[in-house]
């Protein structure tokens, strides 16, 4: 059907069949984007999918009403986060004691909240679709700004930031020592936009398509080869640096036995037995997982002495996770999820209390105002938060401990390194996740903490994944999930300070500021033109 060019374009109506199929096509594109983004992350790990995952969504957003674009973004986000975080459902049901009719809505509610950020991104994309050059720069900035806000709002939940999907492409993610994970997210968004411009841009000339495709390839190649050169330089620095020998112990204690008093002695004996297998000669540090010692240290005197004697006998400092309780000045017991260091004389030489607690796992937020919440989470702990950046000194290398999901918060690792940590140690109990993608996703984020600060990261997990990540982000050694294991590793400790360690999330902050300024300019222009037209 030909359109009369003399007629205003607004009177043209699409054929009925086209208008009928367009909503279905748009929704299908949103679902496809959500699925592609989901499979880009571990455990599925089709990492290349991240670079084209948003292309279907980006191609259908132009020309839609703002509300429709927002809803499509939310739909894509819900599909992505429901699949990415599916492991929350068995965790809440099996170990949290919640019935499925409560656990399922919680997962959906969390996915919807996280998807709202996708909705806002889709809305901005829809609004500036008519400005291709502007959108090429601003949309990656907006995406990073939204990820940055999500990492801090409501205690923060940066799990699933786009850059984490590329943890295995260590050449590409070397930029993290300057930009953090957000620089990788920016790059992935840029490649998605160039791909959409190259293959699905209506009305674009063949020349523009070739330029966009070439630019995408060149950006990836330059980033890869510059990262490869950076890895070679870091490897040379590690060769001449001081090293630390550590034994990482993975006890594989079932969660239903972990807190049973009748298994306390057997649990501790298993950890000492596994440790002894790798202690034919003393090590600089023995690392046990989060709450590997399932008793209150100091209150259970026989088991406390057992740990002290083991460390002294083997002449190896022991860092173990343990619950602790302290009587404060008001004579009130305060409970902590702690990392305890026992020196070679069998004495406690330091402890770190977990500073970023898990909402509804280690404490109930707003319990004072919403007392009924605690009835729904009867197995939730009542822990207090400690001081971030506390170091544990082995006598040779200061240790920056990170307990459980503290490793997903870049600022905590950075604070420890700024305070003088030579090594980052992540102790965790991922038995909650079972044999799902949760442990793989959790482990992958440690790669970025190592690169951002150029410090080795040693990880001991109850059921896995335990391992050694060096300062270049290379995964040197790991233990298989849900197995007993003890790894003896040698970690090189290059004492250098990165731009990220010094300035933190400066790149993400600049993206946030640019997005905010862009929003102000858009609002001003709308007000100005509306006033002018009236």
Query: For the chain, what percent of residues have pLDDT higher than 70?
Result: 89
- Residue 152 has a CB neighbour count (10 Å cut-off) of 14
Position 477 scores a pLDDT of: 94
Whether 290 is a known active-site residue: answer: yes
Task: Over range 217-242, report the average pLDDT.
Answer: 93
SS3 340: strand
Closest-CA residue to 243 (of 476, 445, 410): 476
The Cβ of residue 395 has, within 10 Å, a number of other Cβ atoms equal to: 11
Output the pLDDT for position 211: 87
Q: Are residues 123 and 265 in the same domain?
A: no
Helix (H) / strand (E) element for 143: namely helix 132-150
Of the listed ranges 107-116, 128-137, 371-380, the one predicted with least confidence: 371-380
CA–CA gap between residue 117 and residue 81 (Å, rounded)? 11
C-alpha–C-alpha distance, residues 511 and 163, integer Å: 15
CB of 478 within 8 A of CB of 503? no
pLDDT > 80? residue 96: no
404: in domain: yes
**Is 64 part of any domain?**
yes
Are 163 and 182 contacting, i.e. CB atoms less than 8 angstroms apart?
Answer: yes
For residues 350 and 343, give the distance between their C-alpha atoms in angstroms, rounded to a whole number: 9
- 19 vs 23, 158, 417, CA distance in Å? 8, 39, 57
14 lies in some domain: no
Q: Tokens 């399922």 sit at which residue?
A: 104
Q: Would you say 374 and 327 are in contact if contact means Cβ atoms under 8 Å apart? A: no
Q: Which of 125, 141, 404, 511 is catalytic?
A: 404
Minimum mean pLDDT among 107-121, 194-208, 336-350: which range? 194-208
* Confidence band for 17, pLDDT divided at 50, 70 and 90: very low
| Average pLDDT for the chain | 86
Number of domains in the chain: 2
Q: Are residues 408 and 281 in the same domain?
A: yes
Q: Is 197 helix (H, G, I), strand (E, B) or coil?
A: helix
Residue in 290, 362, 406, 452 annotated catalytic: 290
Any domain includes 223:
yes
Please determine, for residue 137, whether its predicted confidence score (pLDDT) is greater than 50.
Answer: yes
Same domain for 102 and 39: yes
Instruction: Give yes or no for residue 218 having a pLDDT over 80.
Output: yes
Is there a single domain that holds both residue 472 and residue 397?
yes
Domain that holds residue 461: 243-503
Q: What is the mean pLDDT of residues 315-344?
A: 87
DSSP assignment of 342-410 equals: E-TTS-EEEEEE-SSPPBTTTB-TTTTT-THHHHH-TT--------TT--EE-SSSEEEEEEGGGGG-H
Dihedral of the alpha carbons of 354, 359, 360, 365, in degrees to the nearest 10: 110
Say yes or no to pLDDT of 11 above 70: no
Is 147 assigned a catalytic role?
Answer: no
Counts of helices then strands in the chain (DSSP H, E):
17, 12
User: Per-residue confidence at 371, pLDDT binned at 50, 70, 90?
Assistant: low
Lowest mean pLDDT: which of 155-164, 325-334, 410-419, 494-503? 325-334
Per residue in 140-151, pLDDT (tens digit) is: 999 999 999 999
The token duo for 413 is 């690792």
Average pLDDT on 242-268 reads: 88
197 and 108 belong to one structural domain = yes
**Selected catalytic residue, list 141, 354, 406, 493:** 354
Q: Residue 135: which pLDDT band, with cuts at 50, 70 and 90?
A: confident
As a whole number of angstroms, the distance between CA 336 and CA 382 comes to 8
The reply to whether omega before 119 is within 30° of 0 (cis) is no
| Contact by Cβ (8 Å): 228, 175 | no
User: Is residue 4's pLDDT more than 60?
Assistant: no
Inter-residue contact 265 to 303 (CB < 8 Å): yes
Task: Kindly state whether residues 518 and 487 are assigned to the same domain.
Answer: no
- State whether 280 and 313 are in the same domain: yes
Residue 62: what pLDDT? 87
Pair (111, 37) in one structural domain: yes
Per-residue pLDDT tens digits for 158-199: 999 999 999 999 999 999 999 999 999 999 999 999 998 888
Mean pLDDT on 243-266: 88
Residue 264 and residue 128 share a domain: no
* Dihedral over alpha carbons 109, 114, 117, 118 (to 10 degrees): -90
**Rounded (10°) CA dihedral 234, 235, 237, 240:** 170
Nearest to 320, CA basis, from 221, 410, 213, 392: 392
- The Cα 353–Cα 349 span in angstroms is 14
Give the CATH number, domain containing residue 417: 3.60.110.10
Angstrom distance (rounded) from CA 482 to CA 157: 26
Distances (CA, A) of 385 to 3, 149, 159, 359, 459: 67, 22, 20, 12, 21
- Give the list of residues 6+ apart from residue 179 with CB closer than 8 angstroms, or none: 186, 500, 507, 508
The DSSP call for residue 47 is: G
The model's pLDDT over 401-436, given as tens digits with 9 standing for 90+, comes to 999 989 999 999 999 999 999 999 999 998 888 889
Q: Is the peptide bond before 465 cis (omega within 30 degrees of 0)?
A: yes
Q: Answer yes or no: 404 catalytic.
A: yes
**Bridge partners for 423 per DSSP:** 399
Q: How confident is the model at residue 363 (pLDDT cuts 50, 70, 90)?
A: low
- 62-80 pLDDT, tens digit per residue, is 888 989 999 999 999 999 9
Q: If you ran DSSP here, which 8-state letter would residue 171 be given?
A: T
pLDDT of residue 8: 39
Q: Which of 466-478 are b and which e, b meaning 16 or more Cβ less than 10 Å from the residue's Cβ? A: bbbbbbbbbbeeb
Measure the CA dihedral 501/504/510/511, to 10°: 100
pLDDT of residue 9: 37
- Number of residues that this document lists for the chain: 534
For residue 3, being part of any structural domain is answered with: no
For residue 11, tell me if it sits in a domain. no
Q: Are residues 187 and 312 in the same domain?
A: no
Same domain membership, residue 356 and residue 249: yes
Q: Are 385 and 354 in contact (CB under 8 A)?
A: yes
Q: Is 317 a member of any domain?
A: yes
Inside any domain, residue 487: yes
Q: What does the pLDDT average to over 392-403? A: 91
Q: What is the pLDDT of residue 132?
A: 77
Residues 361 and 464 in one domain: yes
State how far Cα 348 lies from the chain centre.
32
Average pLDDT over residues 279-302: 89
Structure tokens at 304: 């406390």
Residue 13: band (very low, low, confident or very high) from pLDDT cuts 50, 70, 90: very low
């Amino acid at each position: 059907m030909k359109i009369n060019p003399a007629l205003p374009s607004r009177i043209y109506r699409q054929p009925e069949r086209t208008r009928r199929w367009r909503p279905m096509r748009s929704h299908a594109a949103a679902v496809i984007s959500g699925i592609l983004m989901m499979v880009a992350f571990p455990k599925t790990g089709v990492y290349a999918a991240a670079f084209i995952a948003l292309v279907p969504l980006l191609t259908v957003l132009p020309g839609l009403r703002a509300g429709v674009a927002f809803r499509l973004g939310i739909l894509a986000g819900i599909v992505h986060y429901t699949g990415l975080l599916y492991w929350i459902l068995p965790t809440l049901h099996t170990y949290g004691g919640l019935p499925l009719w409560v656990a399922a809505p919680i997962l959906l509610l969390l996915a919807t909240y996280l998807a709202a950020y996708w909705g806002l991104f889709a809305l901005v994309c829809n609004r500036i679709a008519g400005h291709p050059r502007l959108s090429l720069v601003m949309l990656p900035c907006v995406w990073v700004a939204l990820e940055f806000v999500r990492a801090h709002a409501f205690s923060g939940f940066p799990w699933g930031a786009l850059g984490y999907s590329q943890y295995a492409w260590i050449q590409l993610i070397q930029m993290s020592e300057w930009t953090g994970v957000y620089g990788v997210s920016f790059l992935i968004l840029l490649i998605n936009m160039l791909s959409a411009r190259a293959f699905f841009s209506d009305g674009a000339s063949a020349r523009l398509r070739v330029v966009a495709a070439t630019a995408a390839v060149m950006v990836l190649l330059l980033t890869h080869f510059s990262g490869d050169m950076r890895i070679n330089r870091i490897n040379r620095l590690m060769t001449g640096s001081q090293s630390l020998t550590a034994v990482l112990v993975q006890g594989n204690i079932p969660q239903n036995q972990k807190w049973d008093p009748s298994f306390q002695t057997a649990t501790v004996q298993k950890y000492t037995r596994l440790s002894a297998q790798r202690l034919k000669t003393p090590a600089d540090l023995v690392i046990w997982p989060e709450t590997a010692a399932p008793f209150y240290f100091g209150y259970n005197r026989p088991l406390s002495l057992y740990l002290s004697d083991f460390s002294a006998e083997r002449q190896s400092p022991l860092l173990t996770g343990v619950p602790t309780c302290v009587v404060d000045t008001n004579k009130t017991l305060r409970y902590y999820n702690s990392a305890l260091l026992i020196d070679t004389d069998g004495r406690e030489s330091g402890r770190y209390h977990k500073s970023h607690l898990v909402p509804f796992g280690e404490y109930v937020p707003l319990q004072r105002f919403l007392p009924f919440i605690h009835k729904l989470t009867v197995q939730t702990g009542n822990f207090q938060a400690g001081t971030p950046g506390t170091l544990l000194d082995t006598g040779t290398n200061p240790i920056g401990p990170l307990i459980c999901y503290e490793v997903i918060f870049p600022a905590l690792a950075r604070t420890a390194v700024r305070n003088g940590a030579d090594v980052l140690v992540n102790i965790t109990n991922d038995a909650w996740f079972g044999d799902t993608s949760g442990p793989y996703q959790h482990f992958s984020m440690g790669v970025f903490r190592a690169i951002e600060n150029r410090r080795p990261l040693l990880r001991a997990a109850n059921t896995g994944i335990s391992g050694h990540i060096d300062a270049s982000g290379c995964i040197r050694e790991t233990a298989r999930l849900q197995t007993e294991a003890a790894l003896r590793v040698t970690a090189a400790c290059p004492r250098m300070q990165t731009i990220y360690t010094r300035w933190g999330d400066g790149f993400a902050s600049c993206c946030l500021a640019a997005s905010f300024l862009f929003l102000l300019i858009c609002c001003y222009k709308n007000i100005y033109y509306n006033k002018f037209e009236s």
